[in-house]
Amino acid sequence: MSQAVKEVAITIMTKMNNLPPVSTECCIYRVPEKFRRVNAEAYTPQVISIGPLHHDKTKLQSREEIKLRYLKEFLRRVKADLLACTRIIGESEDRIRQCYQENLIQGSEELIEIILVDAVFVVELFIRNHYVEHRDENDEIFCKQWMSNGVFRDVLLLENQVPFFVLENLYNLTAFRTAVTFFKLSYEYFKDVLHGHELAGTRFQVRHLVDYVRALQLPSFPRGVTSKLAKFELTRSAKELHEAGVKFRQAEGTSSVLDVIFRDGTLEMPHLVVHEWTEVYFRNMIVYEQCHHEYKYISSYAVFMDSLINTPDDIDILIRYGILENQLKSADDVANLINSMYKEIMRESSQFYSSQCEEMNAYSRTRWHRWKAAWYRWKVILNRDYFSNPWSGISVVVAVVLLVLTLVQTACSLMDTYTGDARRLFHRH
């Protein structure tokens, strides 16, 4: 064996021996390139950086002053001084590093400073959101709508996170903890994107804020997952299902947008508001699921919605029945948004709704259901256009009677003509 071969073996062995253990704390990921290619802006902070992954972005450096002002006000509230807060972060440095997928390049001092300043900013942001009286007169975020909206968007990004336990530890230094938990405080900040979900009293484990909003959207009742070996077939579009006899109804008494039910020919879906934050909100939850979770509920919902929506006509049907609420410019914008979220998601992610899709496809293939739907649509048109008031109804009846009489008269004339011709032919012979 040559010396070169021995050296290579030693080098590889050294690298293997120096591998760090796989951390069970890992939960904050870089967005994989295949997702970023579809819409990089949906994963990139535009106004403010939170945590170490985007801290060095030049265009975000001007916001560091805002963070320091928030830190100054936070320190005025708490019972501990800056040194004590710094110690809290320093004692958790190893655990904090393990929460990030990649090895952080920052040294201890730099990382502790970033985490402390950014985590305090989020805590103070949530406090000021909940307690309006604690906002400064010239608050640089809440006094500027564009700034408030931009920060809200950036806090929803997967790459813009600090561990949840850090936020809670710092919040627990304040007197507010006795009145409202940080769990509840977080809900108050995000409730506009949680689609009516009410925060139950049960506390559950949360790793960061994207994990928090995802957990609050999980199905409110257990659902089975189809075997991975089962063939999955996307459902028809909303318009095709409607024409095939499927009825649509807004679901009531549910706290999760994922609670989709198909029974007795009716598709029941919770109300979904599509607004300026919808794409960022869903995309970052989807990527987090793809990187971290075995059961990809949000991803499944995105695939299911994509199969329902192909054109603005599908959007119009869902809006008509109270399932969608469009706060964007047009139905085209909503259709494009929902269709683009499907890209790069593995088809297996959609198995959560496979049984509903199979049942709807089977229902829509039945001719009797299609005939009933066609008759119902004609009935609606007649009622709307011809029987909307008594006079139009009478005019339709008169027209029908005249049509019948005309047909009878025509038939009688044809019969008389036929009989006369027959008689003349008979006498001629």
Is 50 exceeded by the pLDDT of residue 226? no
- pLDDT band for position 377 (50/70/90)? very low
> The tokens of 111 are what?
């990382």
- Classify strands 247-250 and 266-269 as parallel, antiparallel or unpaired: parallel
Helix (H, G, I), strand (E, B) or coil at 343: coil
pLDDT digits (tens, 9 = 90+) for 31-44: 999 999 989 999 99
Closest by CA position to 94, among listed 36, 159, 21, 156? 21
What digits encode the pLDDT tens for the residues 305-363?
988 998 899 999 999 999 999 998 888 889 888 888 877 676 555 568 888 888 888 88
User: Structure pTM?
Assistant: 0.81
Higher pLDDT, 164 or 383: 164
Structure tokens at 220: 């409110």
Nearest CA-CA partner of 214 in 226, 205, 223, 227: 205
Q: Is the pLDDT of residue 194 over 90?
A: no
Distance between CA 120 and CA 130 in Å, rounded?
Answer: 15
Bridge-based pairing of strands 261-263 and 272-274 is unpaired
**Closest C-alpha to 288, from 209, 386, 369, 202:** 209
User: What is d(CA 143, CA 187) in angstroms, rounded to the nearest whole number?
Assistant: 21
Dump pLDDT digits (tens) for 33-88: 999 998 999 999 999 999 999 999 999 999 999 999 999 999 998 877 899 999 99
Candidates 104, 131, 212; CA nearest to 165 is 212
More confident of the two residues 198 and 274: 274
